[in-house]
Amino acid sequence: MSDMERPVRLDPSDTAPGDERADGREIVQGIVGYLVGLGIATLITAVAFFISGTTLVWGPSIPIALFVLAIAQMGVHLVFFLHITAGPDNVNNVLALAFGVLIVLLLIAGSLWIMNHLNQNMIPMERIMQMQR
Amino acid sequence: MTPIEASAGYADPHRVGYGGMSDSRRHVSEHAARGPESKRIIVGFGFWIFLLSDIVMFSAFFSSYAVLSGNTAGGPSGKDLFNLRNVAIETACLLLSSFTCGIASVGARAHNGLIYYSGLAVTFVFGAAFLILEVHEFTGLIAQGAGPTRSAFLTAFFTLVGCHGLHVTLGLLWLLTMMAQVFAKGYRADILRRVLCFSLFWHALDIIWVALFTVVYLMGAGQ
């Protein structure tokens, strides 16, 4: 009944997140994949740190650029490190990711939207203090 | 029903392993005819669901930080407190540890002890260096009177960054456990599934750190 009795499936189309092929001959291929991911991620990180401190670009554009770079780097991590790809066996993983992203966006955007309005409508703290005396 | 089918059905009660059910893809994967997916794939999917729920929890901390980041109560703001050089070293540590963790998972799948153990050992060193830097930063902030009780901004900061640091701490303990388990029990299928889950966890921590250094440190120091 245990999984040790079941043959290890070496079908290359079977991929889980973080999955590599069990074939020992493909060590090099796996390492190269991680090296590519590391290279791209390092590049994006370096650009992000450079942009945050520079005066070369128009100031108000910096947060948007940082945001875009962060999204791009998360995508690189997902593809090269977690192996969430568009492969045929990855449909469930991608669907779960899409749902997670939806919840995260709703939570963050909704919180910011509501709390900004509440902040605008709130009595200044000094006035509240005076009313309590 | 053979015993293998019965055990696989028990492990997959909701048939999540059935990937390609649409006609257009059936000829590609043919899972509907082949039966449930291997346990490794189902375990990976289940752990991925957990990671996504962990990310949803972090998004709550992120949104509270974003709401409260301006409420400094007359105290220091991020611009006064954050040391970007320190953050850059932390980021490099975590990115490199994520890379070496991937190398270790390649070694585990190939049953190569040299790659596996050395990969995880380097991962541990980088992860521990990250934690030391973070603890150093926290104690420095508290020593200069900018502890979590100073303002709403600092409460949210310590909650968000501290929660990530807590995850890294637990990840390091898990890392040592996985080294010991492979050492004691060998490259068994169930142990390899745990290694897979650990590497997914460690990579997910790095993804959260990307959001963290962007939103908290880079945007905070640039304001």
Q: What is the pLDDT of residues B35-57, one digit of tens each?
A: 777 888 889 999 999 999 999 99
Residues 5-44 of A with CB under 8 A from B: 5-6, 8-9, 13-24, 26-27, 30-31, 33-35, 37-38, 41-42
Whether B59 and A104 have beta carbons less than 8 Å apart is answered as: yes
Average pLDDT over residues A94-104: 95
Are residues B3 and A1, on separate chains, in Cβ contact within 8 Å?
Answer: yes
pLDDT at A2: 46
Whole-number pLDDT of residue B136: 96
User: In terms of CA atoms, which chain B residue is nearest residue A125?
Assistant: B73
Helices marked H in chain A: 27-53, 61-76, 91-121, 125-132
pLDDT of residue A1: 44
Split at pLDDT 50, 70, 90, the class of A56 is confident
Give the number of other CB atoms < 10 A from CB of residue B148.
16
State the pLDDT confidence band at A133, using cuts at 50, 70 and 90: low
Give every CB contact of residue B101 below 8 A, 6+ residues apart in sequence. B119, B120, B123, B198, B199, B202, B203
> In chain B, what residues touch A93 (CB-CB under 8 Å)?
44-45, 48
8 Å CB contact between B37 and B186: no
pLDDT score recorded for residue B144: 93
Mean of all residue pLDDT scores within chain B: 87
Pick out chain B residues at pLDDT < 50: 1-9, 20-31
